[in-house]
A and B are shown apart, each in its own frame.
Chain A
Amino acid sequence: MNSLRFALRLLRRDWRAGELRLLAIAVVIAVASVTSVGFFTDRIERAMARQASEVLAADLRVESNQPLPGFLLQEAERRQLAHATTLSFPSVILHRDSTQLVQVKGVSDTYPLRGKMRVRDSVTGADRVADTVPASGEAWLEERLLPLLGVAIGDQIKVGKRSFRVSRIIVYEPDRSANLFQLAPRLLVPLGDIEETGLLGPASRVRHYLLIAGPPSEMSDYRYWVEDQNIGGLQVEDIRSARPELRSALDQGGRFLRLAAATAILLCMVAVALSSRRFVERQSDSSALLRCLGASRRQVTRIFILRLLSLGLIASLIGVFTGLGVQTLLIRLIGHWFTSQIPAPTAWPLVSGLITGILVLIGFSLPSIIRLGEVPPLRVFRRHLDAPPISYRLFLMAALLSLSILLVWQIGNDEMALRLISGLLAGLTILLLISRLLVFVLAPLRHLTAGSWRYGLASLSRNPATTTMQLTGFGLGFTVLLLLAIVRVDLLSSWQGALPDDSPNQFLINIQPDEVEAVRDLLAQGGIMTNGLFPMIRGRLVSINGDPVSRDDYDNPRAQRLATRDFNISHATQPQRDNKIVSGRWWSESQRNESWFSVELGLAETLGIPLGTELEFEVAGSRVMGRVENLRSVEWDSFNVNFFVIGTPGLLVQQPATYITSFYLPAEKRQVLHSLIQRFPSITALDVTALMTQVRSIMDRGALAVESVFLFTLAAGLIVLYTGIQASHELKVQETAVLRTLGVKRSILLLSTLLEFALLGGLAGLISAALASAISYSLANAVFNLPWELNISMWLAALLGGAVCVGIAGTLASRSLLNTPPLVTMRKA
């Protein structure tokens, strides 16, 4: 006998008979959710990253203080990547008798590769997108240069030996925010004209940039290729390494989306497990008959496994294409939110959908299905002979393995996956224990009640296995749904709330120590609140525990960059409000003279700096040494002033420092800033509004995407509800018919069914609320780093919602049994 052909033939018959529909629908939804979420998140994340790439005006930026070797550009051309070249240096420009220090930027024709420049043709004109770069002989400049130089549109200015006509005012320059700490106002000229200025001498402080854009995989390849060239003094940056605020927002958004996708998978796993159990019950006769007719145990097992895998493959394919269709619809709905075109889908979510479908079936269905081979053939005579009970060890191992693989893979964050898995395992254990307890308590209780209560409670206590399975299924399903609801409502708002409307949008840097008091007074008089003025010291990490720090010690490109760059170090007696000490302790006032450092967690992990490490920095020619006393997490997307490394005042107060502050400047108070700059010309004011807008848009789109994913999870939740209710259907058929034959009224049975399911649903809802709260607390603290609050109304909603939804759905599903004459039901049985 050809088992595959036979299995396929049986599969076709099963499908027609509706035997496998429930299982198939669960797989289709699982795969459709994963695929659509996969496609959607993949495309949205890429679109978000592309939009965020505006901060670099490219996907990748290669930077050096030496002219960049020509082969870097040639390689980019060979790989057919979009490219642009820019350079930037400080210089004094001249207009009549006025001079002004500016940051000159020369750009090639293709600049910018990501984002658009916005310009105005006159001081009062409307701003518009610039489709070109300045023509030869023309210069565009920042508006604040006009009064400083006394220059107007159309005037000539002199940059070195070359004259330029001022033709436009720069309103927005995409990559301006990647260089927040540039001191001088911008002057933009064509790259081709720079040579004639004669300013590119050996002593000039020129930074050379090669901007690259292209598909993400090509970008990684090109990046690795550049890093393999080992060119000294070269820095390669993408958006994640360029601005911690954007990196943080992008990462957080991605975490939310992946968690949302994982919840849909989890629900489908519960649905598959529930429907598999039902399938096994319904196929036991078929298995016994096959064995009776001469099929071996192995043959029967093989036939059922092949049926399952064939079903998995077909259902996964349907799911994959459903997912593809759904994500197209979603992209159409929100595509216009993005300034750039949303990238085309890649094939990976298709493959990932198929793998998910098969993995879900193997983990949550196979352990049940293989029991079918064990159904005793004698069942043909004695219907009570079932397959041996499922091996919980095997089931747990398979489920845990499949769950772990899928969650770690889909979430892409080991800690989040681990917390979710342990939370669910703990939840499963609690649900199993409570189910047992429920059956134990209800058994004597039913004798104390009468009527509908008695039948309802009896039904729950009479079938402990079914009650346990239903309570566990509903409980896990509700937990996942509530978890997503918490993420969707509480954590998302918390994330968006982390960047309120009055978040700092201005930085003042280069404040000299003797200007600090005056600046503080001026801002206070203008009604502008700051979080304080912080000392900022430039220092380079030279040794860790006495070992010199070298770029070659690290494989990670970020670590290599950090090992060679200057840090902005500060000293303080108190940590910043948005900093959280994750290990060690902050120093007390009496310890201010100790030689201690506080290091940002991400930096410590990247460079391998545990608590107690001795760090040595070179600051203005001298060495500063101290021990790492604590590690901090920092909310980079808060836009507050933050530092990777903070020392005790005693360690750093003698070092040369300038001061920095950030604050929210409403439009109507811009005058305060102008007066401050006029009084202290050496201070540089940086407007980060554009960068904040980028972060906000990432948050908004992230939130919308999570909302969309919630719909899939909801659909999966409905399947769990249906399969859970169906789990006791077979038992109810017989019981209802017998009770009705014995004269129990239809209304009493209807009410007892309602009570039975409402009790199950309410209890599952309550337990789920506790589980979801615990898991979300753990995730909020350890993964999202967001404040968490106990949501009592959610507990109430879960209790009532569970009771009402399961109660009504269960009653509706059982109505057909009550409407069918008992004789018909019993004949069928």
Chain B
Amino acid sequence: MLQPSSNQHPVTASGLVKFVETAAGRIDILQRIDLEVSPGEAVAILGASGSGKSTLLGLLAGLDQASSGEVRLFDTPLSGLDEDGRAALRAGKVGFVFQSFQLLSGMTALENVMLPLELAGHQDPEQAAKAALSQAGLALRLHHYPSQLSGGEQQRVALARAFAPDPRILFADEPTANLDAHTGERVADLLFKLQEQSQTVLILVTHDEMLAGRCDRRLYLRDGMLESEA
């Protein structure tokens, strides 16, 4: 069992519980999760399909509310914040990478990367976005739409978008699951390279042991409980 303690941890969770009420009765998804992540740390959360990995990620990122327990992001308890307060806490400081890329199809690669920068009120979002895309090896794909890019390229755009505002935490949900092994590896290389350079906290949800193996720590979600590496 991991004990939450220091206030210096960008992400902590204590006694986190999530259940849903259905017509058939209560379904427990997460049971008393405790977690703390240190600055610059890369943590992998592994688990079978339907084990509650994405639910946990959503709770840690403040996208959803726990049934009980507490999540602290940058030492701020999320339970005291409403949805807008949680969004304000994330703005510019939290990045996301999704399994299905979540690029806006009507926007070019450059415009997709500019989006969080514009929202955060960045001085020169275009230049910053270009730099991020260039770092992701997509300098020649700036004006391509998602439909004109391969899966690997789309995920690289998503990585550029996630890292462009220089976030302190990056939540990644199965970032290579939609890609073939070779492309997935190249995307993972880029992800860890950028994470290392920026010393961003990485919380990675995956079922891929190889990918998880590149993280500093591996945690397993079984029966709603979080366990450290067996």
Contacts and interface: CB of A to CB of B under 8 A. Distances in A.
Interface residues of B, number: 33
Contacts of A382: 54
Interface stretch (A9-17, A58-66, A539-547, A555-563): A9-17
Interface stretch (B8-16, B36-44, B88-96, B210-218): B88-96
A683 B93 CA distance: 100
A170 to B, nearest CB: 73
A381 B53 CA distance: 11
Contact of A292 (B54, B88, B92, B96): B96
A294 interface: yes
Nearest to B90: A294
Contact of B116 (A13, A14, A293, A376): A293
A19 interface: yes
Contacts of B92: 294
B2 interface: no
Interface in A807-826: none
Contacts of A19: 106
Interface stretch (B23-31, B118-126, B130-138, B193-201): B118-126
Instruction: Tell me which of A294, A299, A382 has the highest count of chain B C-beta atoms within 10 A of its own C-beta.
Output: A294
B54 A294 contact: no
B63 A294 contact: no
B118 A9 contact: yes
- Tell me the interface secondary structure of chain A in the complex: helix
B102 interface: yes
B118 A17 contact: no
Contacts of A1: 118-121
Contacts of B61: 292
Given A1-B121, A289-B102, A294 B87 contact: yes
Contacts of A13: 106-107, 111
Contacts of B90: 292-294
Contacts of B120: 1, 294
Interface in A1-34: 1, 6, 9, 13-14, 16-19
Contact of B63 (A295, A296, A297, A377): A377
B130 to A, nearest CB: 16
Interface in B134-182: 145, 147, 173
Contact of A293 (B91, B121, B145): B91
Given A289-B102, A294-B120, A378 B91 contact: no
Contacts of B104: 285-286, 289
A293 B58 contact: no
A26 B222 CA distance: 53
A294 B119 contact: yes
A16 B106 contact: yes
Contacts of A17: 105-107, 145
Contact of B173 (A293, A377, A381): A381
B87 A377 contact: yes
B220 interface: no
Contacts of B221: none
> What 9 pairs between A and B have smallest CB-CB spacing?
A294-B91, A17-B106, A296-B84, A294-B90, A293-B116, A377-B63, A378-B63, A1-B121, A381-B54
14 contacts: A19-B106, A285-B102, A289-B104, A292-B63, A293-B116, A294-B90, A294-B120, A295-B91, A296-B87, A297-B84, A298-B84, A376-B63, A380-B63, A380-B96
Given A1-B119, A6-B118, A292-B63, 5 more contacts: A290-B119, A292-B96, A297-B83, A297-B87, A381-B57
